[in-house]
Every structure is written in structure tokens, then in C-alpha cells.
Amino acid sequence: MKKLIKILAIVMVAAMTLALFAGCGEKPAPATDTTTAAPENGETAAPAAKMTATDGVLVMATNASFPPYEFVGDDGAFAGIDVEIAGLIAEKLGLKLEIQDVEFGSIIGGVQSGKFDMGMAGMTVTDERLQSVNFSTTYATGVQSIIVKEGSEITKFDDFFNEDGSVKDIMIGVQQDTTGDIYCSDDAPDGVGADHVTQFKTGNDAVQALVSGKVDAVIIDNQPAKSYVAANEGLKILDTAYTEENYAICVAKTNTALLDVINGALAQLAAEGKIDEIIAKYIAE
């Protein structure tokens, strides 16, 4: 009888132990909501799919020698129209903006290869560039201007040519790979031909060549032209514009998803008046 009672006691203890272990087991994790909450105040939601090379970061390639669109301020930080617009786009997308300052001519190749997510550098949409990258909707309009020394015999674009249509013995400075370079290097009547063009890495280098007499004129976007003329005594901008163009953001052809959300952000910023505010901040009427 005692043995039977002992056996029953052992069985009961074992059953209680098993129940205790079962009670201490981990509970199933609650289901996780992977959807993105709808943003408030009409802001654009962060992209659900992977659209940037680094998660949570939007890498912008620029050439920070193009005031007032992009330049390095006195505090060492990037500033300008493109910089501020890009910052608002990144904010709309819930991303952190990272700016890479590179040579202008390497921007499209870097975007095309995926090294940069987008290029924004007062960049004009051209048929040649559209063969390599896609462009966003236009966010600003630029004018190519001609800078000369005060007292120069060049007073308009036609003064680059002789009466028979041949190009005079002149040299024009441009920033390499910009539309000023592209247009100028073409043959007349749209340009003067590559033999009469000297390319420089930056607009400032071209302007300094004009100051020192190495070139006879510089063709560059109007707003940077104003900054360079203001900083260098003895220069002026001709009244006649060389050409007009539209600025846009370049994105890799394979990344249409990023292009779509950038266009959406630009549309919202335009509707909110933010783009006009930024442009007015840097460019007086």
C-alpha cells in the first residue's frame, strides 16, 4: 500500500512539472504591421521599396561651385537652391540627404552606375543626357549668359563671327560638360566650334581665365554669372542671353520608382510654394 501511494505521488509530481514547463514556454510573437502609416499634412510617405543604394539615405551628386544653386558657405556647409530643394525632397520621402561634391562631368556616370541616387547641379535636360539617365519634372529655368571684360568689343553673340560667318580669332571659356560647353563646342550658328572653346573644371576657373586674359569671354548660367561678376571687378554680363534652358534632377533609367516619388515630392513642394520661396531667397527679382 505504501509503495502504491509513493508511485501515485511520483506520477502527480511529474505531471505538475510538465505543466509548469509548458506554462513557461514562449508565447507566439504578435503579428507585425509592415505597412507605412499614412503621413500627415499631405507629406509623401517614405518609399516602401528599396529605391536608394543605402537604406534610409538619399545620395545626391552635385558640383558645389555653381552659386546660387550649389556652393559651400562660409560655415563650410553646402548651401544653395538645389541643396535646399533636395533637403525637402528627402524629408518628404523620410530619408536622410547625403551630398557628394564631384566634378560635374562625373555626375551622370555616377548616377547611371548606381554610385549616386540622383544628380542635382543646375542640370539641363538635353537629348544627349536623356540617352543615359531619366530626368524629373523641371523645377527651375536657367539662362546661359556671356561674360566679357568691360570695354570688350564683344557686345552680343553675333560678335563672335566675321561678316562671312567664320569665327573670329577668339577663345571662349566654359565649365567642362555643362550645356555652355555643349552648345559652344558645336559649329556655327549655334556655337563657335571646339577649336574656339577652352574647357575648365569649374566656372570659377573659366572666369579667372577671363580675368587674366587667357580667354575672351565665358559662357555660363546667368545666376552663377552674376555671382562671379560681383566678385571680380572689371567684368560684365552681356544684355543678350545665349540661350534658355530648364533644370531637372537626373535619376538612373533603371530606378523609375525613385523618379516617380521625386516627381511627386516636387509637385507637392511646388503646390506648397516652397520651391518659389527657395528660389526667391537666393535670386532677387
Mean pLDDT score, 150-161:
94
**pLDDT level of residue 62 (50, 70, 90 thresholds):** very high
Is the torsion defined by CA of 146, 151, 154, 157 positive or negative? positive
Q: State the first-to-last Cα distance of the chain, in angstroms, to the nearest integer.
A: 108
Closest to 154 in 3D by CA, of 242, 243, 238, 241: 238
Nearest to 160 by CA among 181, 182, 190: 190
Rounded to whole angstroms, the Cα distance separating 172 from 197 reads 5
Share of the chain above pLDDT 90, in %: 67
Question: Is 57-139+248-282 a CATH 3.30.2130.10 domain?
Answer: no
The residues facing 74 across adjacent strands are none
What pLDDT is recorded for position 284? 64
- Is pTM, for the whole model, over 0.75? no
CA distance 208 to 116: 30
Side chain identity, residue 24: C
Closest CA to 68 of 55, 50, 81: 81
> What are 99-134's pLDDT values in tens digits?
999 999 999 999 999 999 999 999 999 999 999 999
Beta carbons of 84 and 69 less than 8 angstroms apart: no
Residue 213 pLDDT greater than 60, yes or no: yes
Tens digits of per-residue pLDDT, 66-75? Answer: 888 999 999 9
43 band by pLDDT with thresholds 50, 70 and 90: low
d(CA 192, CA 113): 33
Can you give the residue ranges of every domain in the chain? 57-139+248-282, 143-244
Contact 119, 111 (CB under 8 A): yes
**244: how many CB neighbours lie within 10 A of its CB?**
11
CB 184 within 8 A of CB 216: no
- Domain range 143-244, its CATH number among 3.40.50.11720, 3.30.1490.100, 3.40.190.10, 3.30.70.420: 3.40.190.10
